[in-house]
Amino acid sequence: MPKPKYILTATSRTGKPVNLITGKPTDSINVYDDADLQRRLAAAENDPRDLHVTVEEIRR
């Protein structure tokens, strides 16, 4: 199984849920490659919840 390269955390500036299970306005996800990271960042730019996104590179 591949290891994640990044942890992407998104927080809604509007307070709307980002985590659909818990209903919290913040959620994190493992990202496994650069192409997936770019897709997720592009999607976050157009998200109506006005997301604040941070990306942490996982050092091995």
Give the start-to-end residue ranges of the domains of the chain: 6-57
* Tens-digit pLDDT profile for residues 24-40: 999 999 999 999 999 99
User: What residues of the chain score a pLDDT lower than 70?
Assistant: none
Model pLDDT, residue 1: 84
Residue 60: predicted pLDDT: 76
Instruction: Report the C-alpha gap between 38 and 56 in whole angstroms.
Output: 14
